[in-house]
Amino acid sequence: MQILRATAYRRMPWRNGGGETIEMAVSPAGASFDTFDWRLSMAHVGASGPFSLFPDTDRTLSVIAGNGLTLKLPDRDVTLDRKTAPFAFPGDVTVDSTLVDGPIDDLNVMTRRTRCHHRVQRRHLAVSTTLALSGEIAVLVAIGGGVEVVAGSQAVTLDSKDALALKVGDISTLTATPQGTPQGTVDLFVVEIAFE
């Protein structure tokens, strides 16, 4: 298991120059936008505008703070907020975004579709919850409060925006318990990555 603390994340300019992203984890380590297999990041979105294009990439976007964001895709419009499920879409289609009411923060997962694929779940934690993991790599992200994660004989406490990366072959089941926050206010994002 690897604990990823929010204080150590790397800040990088957006590919389209319109803002900043906070890189939480990338594989291979140190990979650029053009060479990653998978990438997990957060961003603060202060203005409406187009998304950057990422060829041969699949994305999943989740709103983690603010009042929401509407995505305009070639075939439909989708509005996301802090309660909606993570939204998956191709990274190489044209997407424009409109803020619903003020800035938002988002969680973004990207995988190179020729090398791996991913699934993202948003779990609203009110009580201790057992999670069964699939894929080869899992990354858990706490949002809105702390989460204690118990996997086998190991226990880790994540503060808000911290993450825990682990190999699923080593640990396929764990327990997550919200810590020190009003009941039901903590989200745990479960990112599962499988290689082709």
Q: Is residue 100 located within the same domain as residue 128?
A: no
pLDDT by position in tens, the chain (length 196): 999 999 999 887 776 666 678 999 999 999 988 899 999 999 988 889 999 899 999 999 999 999 999 999 999 999 999 999 999 999 999 999 999 999 999 999 999 999 999 999 999 998 999 999 999 999 999 999 999 999 988 999 999 999 999 999 878 899 999 997 665 679 999 999 999 8
Q: Give the residue among 87, 117, 105 at the shortest CA–CA distance from 19.
A: 105
Structural domain boundaries enclosing 142: 117-195
Contact, 23 vs 10, CB < 8 A? Answer: yes
In a domain, 1, yes or no: no
Looking at residue 138, which CATH number applies to its domain? 2.60.120.10
CA distance 152 to 111: 28
CA distance 121 to 87: 10
Query: Domain total for the chain?
Result: 2
CA distance 114 to 36: 11
Q: Is residue 50 located within the same domain as residue 126?
A: no
* 190 CB-contact burial (10 Å; exposed 0-12 / middle 13-18 / buried 19+): buried
Give the per-residue pLDDT at 5: 97
In a domain, 185, yes or no: yes
Give the per-residue pLDDT at 175: 97
Give the global pTM.
0.93
Q: Is residue 50 located within the same domain as residue 140?
A: no
Q: Is residue 174 located within the same domain as residue 87?
A: no
The maximal CA–CA distance of the chain, rounded, in angstroms, is: 48
Task: Give just the sign of the alpha carbon dihedral 20, 67, 127, 122.
Answer: negative
Q: Is residue 74 located within the same domain as residue 158?
A: no
Q: Is residue 11 located within the same domain as residue 99?
A: yes
Give the per-residue pLDDT at 180: 74
In a domain, 2, yes or no: no
Please count the other Cβ atoms lying within 10 Å of the Cβ belonging to residue 14: 15
Q: Is residue 55 located within the same domain as residue 86?
A: yes
Q: Is residue 83 located within the same domain as residue 150?
A: no
Q: Is residue 50 located within the same domain as residue 101?
A: yes
CA distance 40 to 62: 12
Give the per-residue pLDDT at 13: 75
Q: Is residue 157 located within the same domain as residue 108?
A: no
